[in-house]
Chain A
Amino acid sequence: MATVEIKNVRKSYGPVEAIKGIDIAIQDGEFLVLLGPSGCGKSTLLRMVAGLESITGGQVVIGGRVVNDLEPKDRDIAMVFQNYALYPHMSVFDNMAYGLKIRGVDKAEIESRVAKAAEILELGRFLTRRPSQLSGGQRQRVAMGRAIVREPAAFLFDEPLSNLDAKLRTQMRIEIKRLQDRLGITSLYVTHDQVEAMTLADRVLVMNHGVAEQIGTPLEVYQRPASLFVAGFIGSPPMNVLDAVIDPSGQGVMMPGGALLPLARPRPSDANRPVKLGIRPEHLAINEDGLDTSPVLVELVEALGADTVVYGRLPDGEPLLIRMSGLPSCKEGDRLAVAPQPGALHLFDTATGRRLED
């Protein structure tokens, strides 16, 4: 149990800066998800916390102790790897007991801790088996058992579910969530899967090109994305981004086709300013009145059962995604009048891509 602080941490490989100064303090017992596309530096950041990568600049503090120069084994952390990284020549029991044996925990204690972990993870029947005799999900559970028995200050997860199939992934996700709730151990979890981030995290750190784009709760990240990158990365299908201009009165946003969308809060100071306008597909609805909105040409309709995704095109040729609940009410070639729900507009600076706060 401990806090983990990452203070202006940087990582360079020669002249290339992979992590450009990340700052975050993770509370005791908090579940922080590092989310980003591959190559954004999230795994590198996690490995720096673990001690598997050297830290070029800044500090990592675990439980009030600067660990920059400590070996991984002295950092009091446990890590779960994407490929499980189990010891293939050891039984499940020995896999879990390995770290304890090395730390000189006495035999009875080891047995009771492993038994307890095995019970939590429902691994009791497999203790004498080798990892090769287990399924992917069971192996991942052993990897978590190995982390749990150590009772570390923090758990580090490096894309632990990426090697599992979709169904198992959902199941293991729920198990991880339950486990963390139950044990209350500070956790850092790396993933590129936004569903994992949204469901597991107390807070999400969205990373891109070695920079923290946004830090916030899953709902904050979804409802108020801090940048175009976050807006495009979170949400499925991704947010529509259109070029637009604030109208001269500051009361609304003018679409390229000429349609005017009212703003929840007027911004007279930004009159005539060009902006990037973000609208989530699920916040667009067919406008029954058919007034005041651009007609959208329907190009493709994907019926997913629970909802429908419409691939449309605006009069000026911009693509527009619309997500509607239920079965499709339109077909290819139709023209739809759509309008965003009130207050569902996101404005971003055209140059920096940062959110324009309202």
Chain B
Amino acid sequence: MQRRVIFDNKLLPYLLLAPQVAVTLIFFIWPASQAVWQSVHIQDAFGLRSEFVWFENFTAILTDPNYVSTLRITAVFSLSVAVLSMAVALLLAALADAKIKGAAVYKTLLIWPYALAPAVAAVLWMFIFNPEIGSLGRLLNAMGYNWDYRLNGDQALTMVILAASWKQVSYNFIFFLAGLQAIPRSVLEAANIDGAGPVRRFWTITFPLLSPTTFFLLVVDMVYAFCETFGTIHALTHGGPGKATETLIFRVYQDGVVNNDLGASSAQSVLLMVILIVLTTIQFRFVERKVHYS
């Protein structure tokens, strides 16, 4: 039974909702509508004049071969980040869920990366991967492997995937751990008595029972990879070398802020929004069906 709270005052519920509505209006609806407005206009470089151009900005982007390659990079990047960060987080959570000494310390340490600013995290990764001053970068080169993410696009992409995933592992870890702890121990014991070894128990019992968490994290991680990794990429590679690590969100910034083409930039952010809405809808329609909610 759901308990309903009854307010005597008719105004109070609206008053309580007001802050959230204000935040949504000011930080989401307003800029989003501005983006839509700007996406159908072309502005001069100084922002003095603007002209209504229908969908010219969109056709320009969609016929740009660079945009297709940006899409491809974004797909590779986002999928890798989501899968990698979830896989590592699940592994760590499964280990943390077992009885281990110092579990509290271990859990706290795992949550730290989440509290780190993307730029700081990026500097940290630079100190690891930089071919001249980075510990791992120097080691790789010393071993004869030609490592330089400033020249090699694939290496650069690998590095930003690693850095972006690392930051998201903490978040996924907390949710996976909570999910694991919500699985009744007796169900796993029953499976043990039924003859399932640890690996089998994990895949036939634990993993299916975690599916609501996994699904939720998949959606959140995809949005993270699409939108919130700007700082990491910006600080590490600036989208380079060439355009090897330029994702959609980075290009929005590049075209709008750096190249001063606000129309094209807005059109891209509108497209990005559409892509995310479509992706999330697909996830809800097709993946969620396989999710077991108890």
Contact = CB atoms under 8 A, between A and B. Distances in A.
Interface of A: 50-52, 71-73, 75, 77-79, 81-83, 85-89, 98-99, 102-103, 132, 146, 150
Counting chain B residues whose Cβ lies within 8 A of the other chain, the interface size class is 20 to 34
Contacts of B205: 87
Given A73-B197, A102-B200, A85 B184 contact: yes
Looking at B190, B197, B200, B204, the one whose CB has the most chain A CB atoms below 10 A away is: B190
A228 to B, nearest CB: 35
Given A52-B189, A132-B294, A89 B194 contact: no
B194 A50 contact: no
Contacts of B195: 73, 99, 102-103
A98 B191 contact: yes
Nearest to B196: A102
Interface of B: 184, 186-187, 189-197, 200, 204-205, 208-209, 211, 292, 294
Contacts of A99: 193-195
A85 B209 contact: no
Nearest to B189: A52
A150 B209 contact: no
A306 to B, nearest CB: 36
A58 B184 CA distance: 30
A117 to B, nearest CB: 14
Contact of B193 (A79, A83, A87, A89): A79
A82 B191 CA distance: 15
A78 B192 CA distance: 10
B186 A89 contact: no
Given A85-B190, A86-B187, 18 more contacts: A50-B189, A51-B192, A71-B197, A73-B197, A77-B193, A79-B189, A81-B190, A83-B184, A85-B186, A85-B187, A87-B187, A87-B191, A89-B211, A98-B196, A98-B204, A99-B195, A146-B190, A150-B194
A83 B184 CA distance: 9
Contacts of B194: 73, 98-99, 102, 146, 150
B190 A88 contact: no
Nearest to A98: B194
Contacts of B192: 51-52, 71-73
A71 B208 CA distance: 24
Nearest to B200: A102
Looking at A75, A78, A85, A146, the one whose CB has the most chain B CB atoms below 10 A away is: A85
Nearest to A131: B294
Looking at A71, A83, A87, A150, the one whose CB has the most chain B CB atoms below 10 A away is: A87
